[in-house]
Amino acid sequence: MERSVAGMRRDAVVTERARDSQNRGPSRVSHSPLGTERIRTVVVEDHEAIARLVADRIAALIRERDASGEQTVLGLATGSTPIGVYRELIRMHETEHLSFANVVTFNLDEYYPMPKESIHSYHRFMWENLFSHIDIDPANVHIPPGGLPREDIEEAALRYEAAIARAGGIDFQILGIGKTGHIGFNEPGSGADSRTRLVTLDAVTRRDAAADFFGEEYVPREAVTMGIATILEAREIAIIATGEHKASIVQRAVEGEIDLEVAATFLQEHPNTTFYIDRAAAAELTRIKTPWLIDEVTWTQDLIVRAVIWLSQQTGKAILKLTQRDYADARMSSLVAKFGSPGEVNGKVFNVLGAKIRGKSKLPVGQKIICFSPHPDDDVISMGGILRKLTENDNDITVAYMTSGNIAVFDHDVRRYVDFLQRLAAEGRLDEQPVQALATRVNECLDRKHPGEVDIPEVQDIKRLLREAEAVSGIETVGLPRSAARFLNLPFYQTGKVRKDPIGPADVAIVRELLAEIQPDLIFVAGDLSDPHGTHRMCKEAIDRALAERAPSDDGDTGTSGRVRQPEVWLYRGAWQEWPIHEATWLVPLSQEELRLKIQAIFKHQSQKDSAPFPGGYDEREFWQRVEARNKGTAAELDRLGLAEYFAMEAYVVE
């Protein structure tokens, strides 16, 4: 997303004030100079940058306190949001000798009831993802109790509050933000005076957590959480949000009124809170979405296109019908002045959008193409239409499935296919002894299995093979041969759990070897970074690193400069959201028949049909329904803007 020069200057001011605040400590600081923002907000490019910023601040605080002989008290959160911060702190401990020997920690919350040893417990999460990798004294680690009898919880909560007070209060508190705006597990209705206590979880929160527990029915209905008052007593607070699915609640928390139903809005009253967000999570902030409404802007082409599309949507008029009055009412007179008349502005944007449309005749012909699919269905979900067109254009296409997707298969599907094998064996079509041995082991393990428990290797393999067969069937539906499928099975995914390992050299090497083998002219990569468990983002990281590491010796294909000729990169979306028209580089029209064929290909992924294990907590529709709505919606939006009318469209961004 293109930012105005003024907007970038403002971000620099905000960041500088954040640094000044950190140097001064917990004293009150000015909010962003933008009147719409009530919490200081730092927008950075990606989640890795957020992790570095927050970890750097924590490290500076620890070193400062160590130098003065004081301990540092940290308030910690769990889940995917802070895990990058913890990995960076571990790196600092291992390579920069950052010591946690004089650090005391208090975690925000814990599910109830929840035994410490459970795979779902926050106690286990913290030890696996931070404490076991640093030199912290276990006696200095405090996590709310999840395994006590109910009658003991109230007294334990009081002791937790007392322990925080004895430690001198929390110096630095890390927070995430839930879809309801909750911080910790302070759900809608939590009061500003609330303290550590047992709470009932909101239905939305439980739905968001369903994937971690392999079903909403297994998510605990209660949790022990620090209260809002406890959180607000921290001297400094960092609240982190990433991904487009957090954009609306971030905007509500930062720009909306303080509201009992949105706990994060209470942070507006805290003297030293900073929101750290990536550009996707910042998308709904006024200074990002409509900066011309609050300040003078530099009218770049991207900003012009975005602004005129917005004005067309606000007025309900086609672009070519926008008038001087429309621009004046929207505080966009400077844009008209830049071009001399509304007609000139309208015509420019109309032509820019029209040039984005690429039918089959304008798509690549006879090229080598790799479609990188993070999961075994992302290819047809996100780009089933263009895959059909590219096949018809005689391109040499490889679909590289980066992970097995085996954790996203229900156990009952495994039982069904094992039963099928047993029936074949009973009819003499398979050797009965090994089939029966496999069936016995699989069924016994599934009978003993607790929700979310890691599968035995045999079950993991059956789930992997099931998804591979579905993937092959899917690409055959859009006209590709079975031989086009390549299953990379990147190591980072092979934990058997929802949470994955970081991308490592082995993952990058596999991708790099494929690039060297195929020598593609064009690659498609998932830019759908709101994937709730980060697999899309991590797969993109592996591809980016593989591209960066390529050398002339990889394939011998170099230009005159001696550098490797890199493939063009097209980013696709679809599973979790679609590219907005103003961001899209290319818009690929689909006919009614092409959309029908795409949906048929999605149907081939039967293990993900009707009730997928990981649908995402913020969109209850099946994937094919999302695809149909988004592809038709993109075409309808183009029609409303006054351009050509198409049945459906896929959108792509050239990186």
pLDDT in tens, 65-108: 999 999 999 999 998 889 999 999 999 999 999 999 999 999 99
Rounded Cα–Cα distance for residues 88 and 51 (Å): 7
Q: Are residues 124 and 75 in the same domain?
A: yes
Question: pLDDT digits over 280-336, tens only?
Answer: 899 999 999 999 999 899 999 999 999 999 999 999 999 999 999 999 999 999 999
Q: Exposure of 67 by Cβ count < 10 A (0-12 exposed, 13-18 middle, 19+ buried)? A: exposed
The mean of the pLDDT values for the chain is: 90
Catalytic one among 88, 187, 236, 468? 187
Task: Answer whether 143's CB lies under 8 Å from 126's CB.
Answer: yes
CA 296 to chain centre: 32
Confidence of residue 552 (pLDDT cuts 50, 70, 90): low
Confidence of residue 530 (pLDDT cuts 50, 70, 90): low
Confidence of residue 563 (pLDDT cuts 50, 70, 90): low
Let me know if residue 442 belongs to a domain: no
Domain boundary among 311, 328, 355: 355
Let me know if residue 261 belongs to a domain: yes
The stretch 541-559 carries a mean pLDDT of 76
The stretch 51-57 carries a mean pLDDT of 96
Let me know if residue 423 belongs to a domain: no
Q: Are residues 398 and 475 in the same domain?
A: yes
The stretch 136-154 carries a mean pLDDT of 96
Q: Are residues 262 and 350 in the same domain?
A: no
**What single DSSP character describes residue 218?**
G
- Identify the residue with better confidence: 477 or 614: 477
Residue 505: what pLDDT? 96
Q: Exposure of 169 by Cβ count < 10 A (0-12 exposed, 13-18 middle, 19+ buried)? A: middle
| Number of helical H runs and strand E runs in the chain | 22, 17
Q: Are residues 241 and 331 in the same domain?
A: no
Here the tokens at position 535 are 């697999």
Let me know if residue 77 belongs to a domain: yes
Q: Exposure of 66 by Cβ count < 10 A (0-12 exposed, 13-18 middle, 19+ buried)? A: middle
Let me know if residue 422 belongs to a domain: no
Q: Are residues 17 and 47 in the same domain?
A: yes
Percent of the chain with pLDDT over 70: 90
Question: pLDDT digits over 624-645, tens only?
Answer: 999 999 999 999 999 999 999 9
Residue 109 zone, left/alpha/beta (φ > 0; ψ -120 to 50; rest): beta
Let me know if residue 451 belongs to a domain: no
Let me know if residue 246 belongs to a domain: yes
* End-to-end alpha carbon distance in the chain: 12
- 3-state SS class at 577: coil
Q: Residue 357 pairs with which residues in a beta bridge?
A: 587
CATH code: domain of residue 146: 3.40.50.1360
Helix (H) or strand (E) segment spanning residue 571: strand 568-572
Q: Are residues 475 and 586 in the same domain?
A: yes
Domain boundary among 287, 308, 335: 287
CATH code: domain of residue 379: 3.40.50.10320
Residue 106: what pLDDT? 98
Residue 555: what pLDDT? 52
Instruction: Provide the domain limits for residue 616.
Output: 363-407+456-654
Q: Are residues 342 and 260 in the same domain?
A: no
Q: Are residues 463 and 345 in the same domain?
A: no
SS3 labels along 126-188: HHHHCHHHCCCCHHHEECCCCCCCHHHHHHHHHHHHHHHHHCCCCCEEEECCCCCCCECCECC
User: For 118-125, which contacts have Cβ atoms below 8 Å and span 24 or more sequence positions?
Assistant: 119/452, 119/453, 119/454, 119/497, 120/212, 120/213, 120/452, 121/146, 122/78, 122/146, 125/78
Q: Are residues 118 and 189 in the same domain?
A: yes
Asked if pLDDT for residue 347 goes beyond 50, the answer is yes
Here the tokens at position 29 are 């600081």
Question: For residue 91, what are the contacts with CB-CB under 8 A and spacing of at least 6?
Answer: none
Total number of domains in the chain: 3
Q: Are residues 588 and 483 in the same domain?
A: yes
Residue 6: what pLDDT? 35
Q: Are residues 309 and 184 in the same domain?
A: no
Q: Are residues 369 and 349 in the same domain?
A: no
Let me know if residue 197 belongs to a domain: yes
Dihedral angle of Cα 278, 279, 285, 289, to the nearest 10 degrees: 180
Verify whether residue 187 is a known catalytic residue. Answer: yes
Nearest to 147 by CA among 176, 172, 194, 110: 110
